[in-house]
Amino acid sequence: MSAVVIDTHVIIWYFLQSKKLSAPALAAIDNADLVYVPAISVVEIIYLQEKGKIPEVALHRLNQVLADINTGWLLMPLNIEIAQAITQIPRDTVPEMADRIIAATAFYLNLPLVTCDSKIRSMNMQIIW
């Protein structure tokens, strides 16, 4: 069974069918049995939609896949283990808290993170891009 964690921008690009999404990233998502969405990504997407930075359809599609148990898309809440795993994501390397939470989620689950974030990609983690 394959599984991945996906970063906020990847979620947005995936649902908007953006050309910014790399072929390996798209394949990883499409071929994964489980796609973990960090809870902070939902918050970020709501915030970006409220600011008019992204179309409402991205949030709508995310809500649809998370509501359907047959999609394999799962919301990963921020729990104490992920909060403690943040210490494994150096603040001087990845300064944004949301990015640290997303990276810590992948670290905690011991799964690849689908991201193009250069700061996260510079770490010694399983990255798909």
Would you state the CATH architecture of domain 3-128?
Answer: 3-Layer(aba) Sandwich (3.40)
Structure token pair of residue 37: 């969405």
Of 36, 48, 44, nearest to 2 (Cα)? 36
The CA angle 88-59-31, to the nearest 5 degrees, is 65
Of 116, 117, 106, 123, nearest to 37 (Cα)? 106
Per-residue pLDDT at 28 exceeds 90: yes
Looking at residue 1, its pLDDT comes to 78
Q: Tokens 């921020």 appear where?
A: 78
* Boundaries of every domain in the chain: 3-128
Q: Could you tell me which residues come within 8 angstroms of residue 38 by beta carbon, excluding any fewer than 6 positions away?
A: 5, 76, 78, 101, 102, 105
Per-residue pLDDT at 126 exceeds 90: yes
Q: How confident is the model at residue 27 (pLDDT cuts 50, 70, 90)?
A: very high
Residues 40-95 pLDDT 10s: 999 999 999 999 999 999 999 999 999 999 999 999 999 999 999 999 999 999 99
Residues 93-108 pLDDT 10s: 999 999 999 999 999 9
Per-residue pLDDT at 124 exceeds 90: no
| Mean pLDDT (whole number) for 27-38 | 98
Count of beta carbons in the 10 Å neighbourhood of residue 101:
23
Q: What is the pTM of this model?
A: 0.94
